[in-house]
Amino acid sequence: MLDRIRSALKALEPAVAGRTLGVACSGGADSTALLTALAALRGELGFDLAVVHLNHRLRGEASEADEIFVRDLAAAHGLAAHVRGEDVATLAADWGCGLEDAGRRARYAWFAGLIAEGICDRIATGHTLSDQAETVLFRLARGSGLRGLAGIRPEREPGIIRPLLGVSGSEIRDFLRERGLTWREDESNRDRRFRRNQIRHDVGPRLAEINPRWESALARTAEQALSEEAYWSEIVAVAAARVLQRGEAGIRLKVSAFSELHPAVQRRLLRTAAEEAGGAALGADHIEALRELCEPGRGSGEASMPGLTARRSLDAVMLSPPARAEVPVEPARRVEPPAELLAPDRRSRIRFEIASQHSGIGRYTEPIRAGLDWKRLPAPLVLRAWRPGDRWQSSSPSRTMKLKSLFQKARVEVWDRPGWPVLCAGDQVVWTRAYGVAEPWQADAESRECLTVREVHLTGREICGIEQWLDSVYGL
């Protein structure tokens, strides 16, 4: 077993010499064996070793006993122990997820912090070949597709490695027994309320009757799937550059470009986009629901799934975490120039200044940048979010249009409309984002004083038209 761990470690971390390798140790058989093996190899391979343990505080005195066991084990090897406690039950309630998921998220967030702080260069976890087989079987049952069948990766960001993926659980226990070592048994591992335990204790033994080496067979499937996914990832990256844009609200998908892709690429692209938008791993049913939302010719629509909200508008689908699906809108505020106010949708800052016409600020031949005739504007001036029924009058051609119609004509999607800023004088819209000053209020050669309105996106780019607005938000 040591030979396989040595080979795996060299493949995963060729430059391990001189680095500090953290070993995530729960006190169970797998992590105890990993710690023992790495302690035996550290002199030969020239790396430093530290122990990291997260106390989930789920099992009362048993959790405290696990922590003591890990501290004693670290001390027996002369290693530093980095220990932290988390109330995982509270985290699960706050995050709206299961205990297993909350514990996993808490662990990896802490591991990322240890690596970012330079306490460890890499952290090794005790995932085994048996864990790999169970994961593949679980994902197969969920219909997660070929990407899901790749199972547990040998590496994951931001620096997590799994040197035990080639070693089965039974081999682990043989290794420990040969050395007379003990480990902690987590009673929750027998709790059949957890689906993984159902696979381990009920499904696995039945599969062993068909193929005694079922774990190895499924682990090979994972290796093959991982190899194929490496090939597909390059194709998906090219497709993503054509189809996806990263915006403030989430990941925007262009439907017309998406519909040209092969269904196999579509499914992989949707998984990639959903994960990047902050969603959980999606099953086959969720992916197909997203593909249905992306069908050409379909109107508006919405779908909710774990950690994700998908909304369709015009030729786009927006994937967002639920917390970002609703745009916070600033209340209406009175404008008393000179002033600079945050736009109602909090995406830009709007500056109001008064200047004499001869200063050259009031360029009446450019309505988007032009000033408003200050003397003709009725008070008070109010900056607020647009409302259904708001109308704006253009000068070329001279006609009044509803803002909603302008949005549809310019292909402004529904998630970009809340908080769209308008400047009102009484019940009249005298200025609005991207379209500028309404025709009746534009300064002309006879205007002596102009109120100029200048909007600057939070990226620093001045917004002087709908194209620049879209470019500021999506880089189009």
Give the number of other Cβ atoms within 10 Å of residue 142's Cβ. Answer: 16
d(CA 108, CA 120): 13
∠ Cα 256 257 260 (to 5°): 95
d(CA 425, CA 333): 12
Spatial CA neighbour of 28 closest among 125, 151, 153: 125
DSSP codes, 340-388: EEE-TTSSEEEEEEEEEGGGT---TT-TTTPPEEGGGPPSPEEEEE--T
* 253: Cα separation from own chain's centroid: 15
Contact in structure between 39 and 178 (CB atoms under 8 Å): no
Give the number of other Cβ atoms within 10 Å of residue 302's Cβ. Answer: 14
Residue 237 has pLDDT above 90, yes or no: yes
Spatial CA neighbour of 386 closest among 440, 327, 344, 326: 344
Contact in structure between 283 and 142 (CB atoms under 8 Å): yes
| pLDDT at residue 141, rounded to an integer | 83
DSSP codes, 172-204: HHHHHHHTT------GGGG-TTSHHHHIIIIIH
DSSP codes, 120-161: -SEEE----HHHHHHHHHHHHHHT-HHHHHT-S-SEETTTEE
pLDDT in tens, 98-145: 888 899 999 999 999 999 999 999 999 999 999 999 999 988 887 777
| pLDDT at residue 475, rounded to an integer | 64
To the nearest whole percent, how much of the chain has pLDDT over 90? Answer: 60
d(CA 79, CA 42): 12
pLDDT in tens, 24-70: 999 999 999 999 999 999 999 999 999 999 999 998 999 999 999 99
d(CA 147, CA 226): 7
Contact in structure between 424 and 384 (CB atoms under 8 Å): yes
CA pseudo-torsion sign 131, 137, 138, 139: positive
* β-strand pairing of 244-247 with 122-124: unpaired
What is the SS3 assignment for 56?
coil
**Domain ranges in the chain with CATH number 3.40.50.620:** 2-127+162-210
- What are the CA-CA distances from residue 268 to residues 138, 169, 209, 277, 287 (Å)? 19, 32, 35, 14, 9
pLDDT in tens, 426-473: 889 999 999 999 999 998 888 889 999 999 988 888 888 888 887 777
Q: Locate tokens 């800023």: which residue? A: 421
Average pLDDT value for residue range 364-385? 78
Average pLDDT value for residue range 195-203? 84
**Domain ranges in the chain with CATH number 3.30.465.60:** 222-325
Q: How confident is the model at residue 369 (pLDDT cuts 50, 70, 90)?
A: low
pLDDT in tens, 141-185: 877 777 788 889 999 888 999 999 999 999 999 999 999 999 998
* Largest Cα span, the chain: 98
Ramachandran category for residue 311: left, alpha or beta (phi over 0 → left; psi -120 to 50 → alpha): beta
Both tokens of 458, joined, read 């939070």
Residue 365 has pLDDT above 50, yes or no: no
* Statement: 222-325 belongs to CATH 3.30.465.60: yes
d(CA 437, CA 370): 7
d(CA 454, CA 451): 10
Both tokens of 27, joined, read 């006190």
What is the SS3 assignment for 53?
strand
| pLDDT at residue 362, rounded to an integer | 42
292 contact partners, CB below 8 Å, separation of at least 6: 298
Contact in structure between 106 and 78 (CB atoms under 8 Å): no
Spatial CA neighbour of 391 closest among 400, 378, 381, 383: 400
CATH number of 2-127+162-210: 3.40.50.620
